[in-house]
Structure 1
């Protein structure tokens, strides 16, 4: 999905959630959840768009209608210390585009 398509979905109130996925190396990927799936935001070169902060995302989407957003991070403590049983859940922290 590119920025133009994201804007169209936002205008039509079709975006259920935007996930800002924190990755190792200090960058973020944007994933957009619609009723029919989860889509990565691509740049003009058709490559996944790499962002450096929530502020950069806010600047990028400043003219787009607001919708639910969440910062998604893996829990490093659980990964470093290990767990006896069960899967390691990601942290999901809601935030606003404003």
Structure 2
């Protein structure tokens, strides 16, 4: 990246203060970058704005939708739903590998 970071909407771009999607590396500086891991949603799942279970619902992901995970932490997965174009957290136990 050259020059200052571009300000991106974190609701639609997987970027936080500590980590960003590697696909955004040309636009933003982050201490860490992650490559997305495409996984399959098992059963209807709530995509949340924050990691806490009671946080606002961003979207409802349907069975067999793809979710691109950038971080696993505390039983949650953080990433982006390509079908909705939205970033958020969901229960990591609701995801399965594409290879399964």
Give yes or no for TM over 0.5.
Answer: no
Name the TM-score, length of structure 2 as normaliser.
0.28
More helix by share: 1
More strand by share: 2
